[in-house]
Amino acid sequence: MAFPTPPDFGDFQPLADLVIRASDPFLTASVVRELAASDGPVTAAAGDGTGPGSIAELWDRLSTAAGGPTAETGKDRVPMPQDVAIMPAKGADSPLSDEAHVTKALADFEHLRDITSVADLFIAMANIAKRAKRGHPEEYRLSVPAEAAQAFADMADSAYSVMLGPPLAGMFSFVSGTQNTFKRNMSKTELHLGFLAELFSGFSLTDVAKKQLDGILTNFIKSLGDVSVSTEETKNTVDQTIRVHQTVATNISGNSEHPIWIYQPRTRIIYMHVDASSWKWATNKANHEKSTFNMQYVVVDIDLNVNRWLSAKPQLEAIFKQITSQTFKQYGKIKFPAPIDAEAK
């Protein structure tokens, strides 16, 4: 499995470098002093104008994303990656009480919610830089099929590359990665269930939990409305990225009689390349005949270094707030869904 090339942030590179420095424990103090002295480090990093490639465009992109996918498509934009949070099943041998288990898991989800705010900042910068490099400074429009396809491709690629590149690469450690193919002839009803079973096969979800998950993803797809995608410029696929957040219980002693448990916040990145004809059939409300749904996808699991994140969080949130006027919690309030209980009855 090939790892992504770190994105080129173009005119936003100085801002990206500032965030990267703010994430480095050896440089944290210098960034804190800069931020305390003036607003200059942020606005100077990418210019303070109002045109394409400016802080104003970045602010608008993230502020709209904070309102959820419907707000984004309402502005003729591809939504930021869909986030899914799954409350882990409580193992029979776990020493935590149910209440302590839930409290710990919810705290982990807050860490993951907040760091995805930083990821979205980098995704927005990468997308703007991609367009500018192609000589297309204005945003791609969902109402234009060829532009919509390119916007989907950029969003999915940026989301995958950013989660595995700096500065997040310093916050996360790689756990595992696989490449997969899903190709099956089925009805749309079968696709609905088969898609969830394929992507979430390792989560041991109850039927109630699956319905909750289905609701999140259905609402996300519904927000795309009647987007028509041409794939002439994107190798005949429509690309999407989903981020799945969870807490994993691990006995680090390796001894079942004398366990030492840690609860590790983990993010799974699912990067999908859906065949264009499959996408057209799946999203066509009128065509209910069976068809072959074909996609290739990459799954990568990465673990959050909580101590490293907490040491960098104050200055990263200060930068984020200067750009968006929102805290991490305010940004993620609508965008980041409540965790699904894997054992829901």
The pLDDT value recorded for residue 286 is 62
Question: 89: which 2 tokens?
Answer: 């099943």
**pLDDT, mean of residues 60-68:** 92
**pLDDT, mean of residues 286-313:** 90
**pLDDT, mean of residues 233-254:** 84
**pLDDT, mean of residues 77-84:** 92
Cβ neighbours around 125 below 10 Å, total: 27
Q: Hey, where are the domains in the chain?
A: 10-341
pTM: 0.89
The pLDDT value recorded for residue 119 is 96
pLDDT for residue 201 is more than 70: yes
pLDDT for residue 175 is more than 90: yes
Which DSSP string do the residues of 144-178 spell out, in sequence order? SHHHHHHHHHHHHHHHHHHHTSTTHHHHEEEEEEE
Round to whole Å and give the CA distance between 144 and 132.
18
Question: 38: which 2 tokens?
Answer: 């003036």
**DSSP 3-state assignment of 333?**
helix
Closest CA to 77 of 239, 227, 218: 227
The residue that leads in pLDDT, 259 or 237, is 237
**DSSP 3-state assignment of 186?**
strand
Question: 37: which 2 tokens?
Answer: 């002295």
pLDDT band at residue 130, thresholds of 50, 70 and 90?
Answer: very high
pLDDT for residue 49 is more than 70: no
pLDDT for residue 221 is more than 90: no
The model's pLDDT over 333-343, given as tens digits with 9 standing for 90+, comes to 988 989 998 88
